[in-house]
Amino acid sequence: MQRTLNKPVCLEGFGFWRCDDVVVTLNPADPDTGIVFIRDDVPSAPPIPAKLENRIAVERRTSLGIQKDGQTVVQVDMVEHLMAALFAAGITNCCVRVNAQELPALDGSALPYVEAVNSVGTVDQPGERIQKRVTQSIRVGTDKSYLEVEPPKPEDLTSTIRYELNYPHCPDIGKQEFSTELVPESLQKEVAPARTFATQDEARALQSAGLCQRVTTQNCLVFTGKGALDNQLRFPNECARHKVLDFTGDFYLGGIEWIGRFHGVGSGHALNSQLLEKLLLSVTRRQE
């Protein structure tokens, strides 16, 4: 079955990177619509389908845009947390209306989006949710940082992921590992609450460059060498869990629920998109 929201729900905040005030409204949508973003602040802007083909390469976040004659005519930034929440809630059809270029930072996790969807409920719709079993092993990246997937075992009905993170230059983070099944209960309770993070040096560098000016330790975990600054961890391995959150949101740009065994080591948005591209290509080849 496909699924949409029972009724609209609105969230307000400011963008993590650009820091503009922003209101985003999640609206029900018809079957087979998919996830679509609409910029209400850009007159006559075309809708932006949440598809890998519309991904724009931007560092440290996932952005989507529509291009014409080699120029981006409309863009929406930092969509990965919302996409992860929609996947966790089983939402296949949603019209996301936003009045700024970037979605709100909120608390730096996907939890506020999950709670918003749960507050209004969902509605099942006619039509199938696309599901594909991985049929071949694929790996992208280097020896030190990579993302790979293997076909599931015959008895597997869902995907799993094992993620390994290593920050030798920041012992607060250090080595972390997290494994989970990519199913709604686990994603909503064990992944969605995990917040974005940075070392104190990284945070200072970003703000010195004029970015993240309104971001505080309540929107981002900042590690000082003596723990998280002015905050408490929700999980001992919260950073590794947040990487799985990003993976989930990025992979939903394929519009497919994959069944396979994923393994990431130090991977991020770029490798997520590279592996997804290869998986989508493998499906296309099988259909030819």
Residue type, 107: D
Residue 169 annotated among the catalytic residues of the structure: no
What H or E segment, with its residue span, contains residue 62?
Answer: none
**Angstrom distances, CA of residue 123 to CA of 84, 87, 218, 226:** 18, 14, 33, 46
Per-residue CA distances from 159 to 51, 84, 163, 260 (Å): 20, 15, 13, 5
Q: Which residue has the tokens 């799985």?
A: 244
Looking from the CA of 53 toward its CB, the CA atoms found within 13 Å total 6
- Distance (Å, whole) CA 17 – CA 57: 15
Cα gap 187→168, rounded to integer Å: 27
- Kindly name the residue from 81, 242, 263, 269 that is annotated as catalytic: 269
Which active-site residues does the annotation give? 269
